[in-house]
Chain A
């Protein structure tokens, strides 16, 4: 049962472009939405996270946009760089639990 749907599965962007990854969730009990970045051979690492009481959070080139009514959130990577090439996972956490429910992942490739 996939509670967090993520798209696209893969994304190719030119250096300097904007990368956009979208996620949608079903469970309204989720109240914390982190994004994880995973490089080949490594474990996932927290990139940025948001709570549903704000509609946007920005950290450097990375921005999360959150639409509570639509139950959707997205990651925007501005000025994408080859070093951003990795797999990105959105996730959700419920109010009464700590377990991360992950999306299926998006493999991002940024070409120079």
Chain B
């Protein structure tokens, strides 16, 4: 158990809908990262927050957004969902977010868009 929690574990929704994925980092970790894992794209970095502020952006679509709250939990919002958004979404956390710090991954949320 990494100490990172993600809810829900599974999510089934329809195209065009909007969903919110939630992540609670390990106690004391200030950085939260979101990754998408799909069969064709592999593991892709989406976005990173550090202590409430956006720090880095990766291959995140404009339909997706994220935020980190004062209690350091984070939410990833996916809107206007398409079939291709079906994937595993992982949240990871690290202490400070410095290069070379270990990132601890949660168990993921499996999203299925029908």
A residues at B contact (CB < 8 Å): 31-32, 34, 36, 41-46, 49, 51, 89, 93-105
The answer to whether A45 and B2 touch (CB under 8 A), given A98-B31, A98-B33, A99-B48, is yes
Chain B residues, CB < 8 A from A51: 100
Whether B42 contacts A43 by the Cβ 8 Å rule is no
Task: Provide the B43-64 mask, 1 if CB < 8 A to any CB of A, else 0.
Answer: 1110010000001101000000
Interface flags for B76-114 (1: CB within 8 Å of A; 0: not) read 000000000000001010100111111111111000000
Nearest chain B CB to A52 CB, angstrom units: 11
Q: Which residues of A contact B44 (CB under 8 A)?
A: 102
Contact between chains at A98 and B106 (CB < 8 Å): no
**Considering only CB atoms and an 8 Å cut-off, how many residues of chain B contact the other chain?**
28
Pairwise interchain contact A98-B99, C-beta atoms closer than 8 A = yes
Most buried by B among A34, A49, A96, A98: A98
Contact at B31–A43, with CB atoms within 8 Å? no
Closest to A101 in B: B45
* Extra pairs beyond A31-B99, A36-B105, A44-B105 (9, CB < 8 Å): A44-B43, A44-B90, A49-B102, A97-B99, A98-B33, A98-B55, A98-B56, A98-B94, A102-B45
19 CB-based A-B contacts, threshold 8 Å: A31-B99, A32-B99, A32-B100, A36-B105, A42-B108, A43-B90, A43-B106, A43-B108, A44-B43, A44-B105, A45-B2, A45-B104, A46-B104, A49-B102, A51-B100, A98-B48, A98-B103, A100-B35, A102-B44
